[in-house]
Amino acid sequence: MAPNHSNENGSIGSSLHGVTAREQIFSFSVEDAPWSQAIRSDDPTAKFALPVDSEHRAKVFKPLSFAKPHMRAFHLGWISFFTCFISTFAAAPLVPVIRDNLDLTKTDIGNAGVASVSGAIFSRLAMGAVCDLLGARYGTAFSLMLSAPAVFSMSFVADAGSYLAVRFMIGFCLATFVSCQYWTSVMFTGKIIGLVNGCAGGWGDMGGGVTQLLMPMVFHVIKLTGATPFTAWRFAFFIPGFLQIIMGILVLTLGQDLPDGNLSTLQKSGQVSKDKFSKVFWFAVKNYRTWILFVLYGFSMGVELTINNVISGYFYDRFNLTLHTAGIVAASFGMANFFARPFGGYASDVAARLFGMRGRLWTLWILQTVGALFCIWLGRASSLPIAILAMMLFSVGTQAACGALFGVAPFVSRRSLGLISGLTGAGGNFGSGVTQLLFFSSSRFSTAEGLSLMGVMAVVCTIPVAFIHFPQWGSMFLRPSRHEERSKEEHYYGGEWTEEEKSLGLHEGSIKFAENSRSERGRKAVLADIPTPETGSPAHV
């Protein structure tokens, strides 16, 4: 039997090892392999509603289904994330009322906007570890239910300082992005992960658009009951607060961490191994690609978050629209996520099928640069119809880029996938904080100028994607390595484990993943010989 390293308590788990720590043989279709039945007698793969791979991750994506556990996890994940987006940006469409109640200046509003996205930098980093430790369900539920008090506490806010503090604390809940992507990554197989993550991320991001419609509407209804505006906006925040609590309870009661069960049950029965956090962290931080993705996401998602904060006020002030109409326009930006981000993920998957990883990188660069160019145009548009057109094209480009980026991220590391998701997500918030601070927090630039300058900065900061190079797949301009060893996926993913760890068989999940990732060679994968994995030394056969 394999050594009982998997029963260590206290050490933080690794992200996304194979669900079963005991897989030893790596052939392609293992659903009826005899050894899997010997190890877990209660493990018939036929019990899943969707076809699954050897890690019990679903191979197809059926958005209209709520089947346990895969599709249910998908829906709970994206709706939780959606709810958190609603809460984080709930203040933005009501700023014209809030700024009068609290006597805010443009600087105060800008700083609060920065604060609203900054909290998540830290919480997204921590969330990767929390998911490893407690599972995606608790990661999501913690995020939702511990930040709900912050949402309710808008009723106490009396000045600029407390407003900033509350928006900062509400912003922590954006960590649900990481738990949502983590949850879908354990539930769905690599070939469709671009599309699935794109849908989950995109539909969640729509919350930033929906809130621009929802909050003015709720505010209006509360005013109709006789409340003054300065009380009505406070009460309006109760709606996102309720939504968070409800979603938290649903996640805990209906959700499941992994295809085979909940994390605590699986860990205690020894079926999921744990990894050392320090190793996971080191391999994430050491990999330069992580940091390039950090910057890239900062200027796709970061730009999107900034726009969620400023666009409603921009249309209200510059084009003299009513609160309601400005909200509709602002909502259109966020709602484009419904198809734009999944489209980006899908485009990435299609490009990968044809050109492999190079296709994914080019797709990412093109989408993000085009989006940024339209952002420049938006700032320069002085008539309302042109501004709306520019905004819509900008939204599609930028949001598709977000989807395409998460078609690349799962391949950067296998051992540290959770942490890399977290770091990339944090990069999004970091980029948003930087752009709001530079361009929207002082009277130095008008909002219109700020938008154009942000677009320019985004174009420049998208160039680093050309430097992402995988030895086995190449990069935007360079071919894959022709070196005997380095051109194999196993070498890249196996390189994250020391020889000692390999001798204990800890790396086997990575090797499994390396085999499945051969599809990133593009059309050549079909023609290439499939080498037998030299590093797959089974401890027992």
Partner 1 sequence: MAIHKILFASLLICLLIQSSHGATKERLFSDLEKSALEVTATPSRVGEGVVLAAGIDKLSITWKVSSTATKEPEFKAIKVKLCYAPASQVDRPWRKTENELFKDKSCPHKISSWSYDPAVKTAQSFDYTLERDIPTGTYFVRAYAVDAKDHEVAFGQSTNEDKTTNLFSVQAISGRHKSLDIASVCFSVFSVLALLVFFVNEKRKAKIEQSK
Query: Which of 142, 297, 374, 493: binder of partner 1 (CB under 8 A)?
Result: 142
CA distance 55 to 36: 11
When asked if residue 158 is in the footprint of partner 1 (CB under 8 A), the reply is yes
When asked if residue 162 is in the footprint of partner 1 (CB under 8 A), the reply is no
> Smallest distance, Å, CB 129 to partner 1?
17
> Smallest distance, Å, CB 25 to partner 1?
29
Query: Which of 10, 383, 482, 527: binder of partner 1 (CB under 8 A)?
Result: 383
72-131: contacts with partner 1 (CB under 8 A) = 96, 99-101, 103, 105-107
When asked if residue 10 is in the footprint of partner 1 (CB under 8 A), the reply is no
Reading the block at residue 173, the tokens are 């809940």
When asked if residue 495 is in the footprint of partner 1 (CB under 8 A), the reply is no
Query: What 3-state DSSP class applies to 52?
Result: strand
Q: Provide the β-strand partners of residue 346.
A: none
CB 438 within 8 A of CB 326: no
248-277: contacts with partner 1 (CB under 8 A) = 248-249, 252, 262, 264-265, 268-269
CA distance 153 to 167: 10
Reading the block at residue 249, the tokens are 């309870």
CA distance 80 to 306: 21
319-348: contacts with partner 1 (CB under 8 A) = 319-321, 325, 328-329, 332, 335-336, 338-339
- Rounded to the nearest 10°, the torsion over CA 394, 400, 401, 406 is 160
When asked if residue 148 is in the footprint of partner 1 (CB under 8 A), the reply is yes
When asked if residue 224 is in the footprint of partner 1 (CB under 8 A), the reply is no
Query: What 3-state DSSP class applies to 159?
Result: coil
Q: Which residues, in sequence order, are CB contacts of 247 under 8 Å at separation 6+?
A: 76, 79, 80, 83, 144
When asked if residue 155 is in the footprint of partner 1 (CB under 8 A), the reply is yes
CB 430 within 8 A of CB 350: no
User: Which ranges in 463-498 belong to alpha helices (H)?
Assistant: 489-494
> Smallest distance, Å, CB 44 to partner 1?
20
CB 450 within 8 A of CB 379: yes
Q: Of 222-230, 453-461, 473-481, 495-503, which segment contacts partner 1 by CB under 8 A? A: 222-230
- Rounded to the nearest 10°, the torsion over CA 113, 119, 124, 130 is -150
Query: In this complex, which beta carbon is closest to partner 1, that of residue 9 or of residue 29?
Result: 9
Number of residues that bind partner 1 (CB under 8 A): 61
Give the binding site for partner 1 (CB under 8 A). Answer: 96, 99-101, 103, 105-107, 138, 141-142, 145-146, 148-149, 152-153, 155-156, 158, 228-231, 233-235, 238, 241-242, 244-245, 248-249, 252, 262, 264-265, 268-269, 313, 316-317, 319-321, 325, 328-329, 332, 335-336, 338-339, 383-385, 388, 392, 443, 446
